[in-house]
Amino acid sequence: MKPSIGRMVIVKGAGAVSNGVDRAPAIITRVWSDGDTKDGPVLINLHVLPDLADARLLGSVRLYDSEAHCEEGDNNAQAFWPERTYHGRDPRPARRRQLTRELAQVATPANAAIIDDVLMEASLRGEDRSSWPADQIAGAAYDALVHISQAITAADSVIDGYLRNRKPVAYTLPLNPVPGLVSVWSRWIARYLLHKDRVGTREETDPVVRDYQEALEIPAAHRGRQVLPGRG
């Protein structure tokens, strides 16, 4: 994340004592380079706002992606981005929150704590994750992305197999652009593959199974006819 004047960070170490705690909020007052903290620390000046104490100024403080990236044993002032949280109502649309939470639950490796759904969404969208501990990003979040990627690859292979073997005329692959219907099929199949180990559901009423079966039945029902407009 690139720092800019007016952004809030957390500072620790020298000059950061805040009512008995060695951390305090601070406002960036100057940025010394155009760097991005994901590539390494960036030097900044700060207006520190300790609890129950006078404000103070700190210059040339190193700003890190997260507290986990700060130098161990360094007593000089160091700053890091605060943990990303939502206060009050989560601004993400309800349906998107629900789907992200579902993905976090089914993609989290066995015997691991379920990934925070906000971290899951940031990972999927390639957004900044500097406010989460590095071990969470490199551990469960990475494993979940691999799991989801494998399900998508498997779903695309099923679809490509149908398109490549379509009679009497096969589709030319790769599709460019990819029709929306193909993207829907891929989501339905991948979602089913991610849920395949769950128990306690009835196939005849399970929407995940229903969508999966429909994704497989549409091509079969239209065998020999053109399913995708303008293709083949």
Q: Does 226 or 81 have the greater pLDDT score?
A: 81
pLDDT for residue 29: 94
Residue from 30, 55, 53, 52 nearest 43 by CA: 30
Q: Does 34 or 130 have the greater pLDDT score?
A: 34
Q: Tens digits of per-residue pLDDT, 54-92? A: 888 999 999 998 887 887 767 788 999 887 655 555 666
- 63 close to 43: Cβ distance less than 8 angstroms: yes
pLDDT for residue 32: 95
pLDDT for residue 127: 82
Q: Does 209 or 92 have the greater pLDDT score?
A: 209
Contacts (Cβ under 8 Å, ≥6 apart) of 148: 103, 107, 124, 190, 194
- 118 close to 141: Cβ distance less than 8 angstroms: no
Ranges 30-39, 135-144, 201-210: which has the least confidence = 201-210
Q: Tens digits of per-residue pLDDT, 143-199? A: 888 989 999 999 999 888 888 887 777 778 888 888 888 888 999 999 999 887 666
Taking CA atoms, 75 is separated from 11, 16, 109, 193, in Å, by: 12, 11, 37, 50
Other beta carbons within 10 Å of 190:
22
Q: pTM for the full model?
A: 0.56
Q: For residues 122, 128, 130 and 131, what is the CA-based torsion angle, rounded to 10 degrees?
A: -60
Mean pLDDT (whole number) for 201-228: 71
- Calpha distance 216→214 (Å, rounded): 5
Whether 44 has a pLDDT exceeding 90, the answer reads: yes
Mean pLDDT (whole number) for 201-215: 81
User: φ and ψ at 57, to 5 degrees?
Assistant: -110, 140
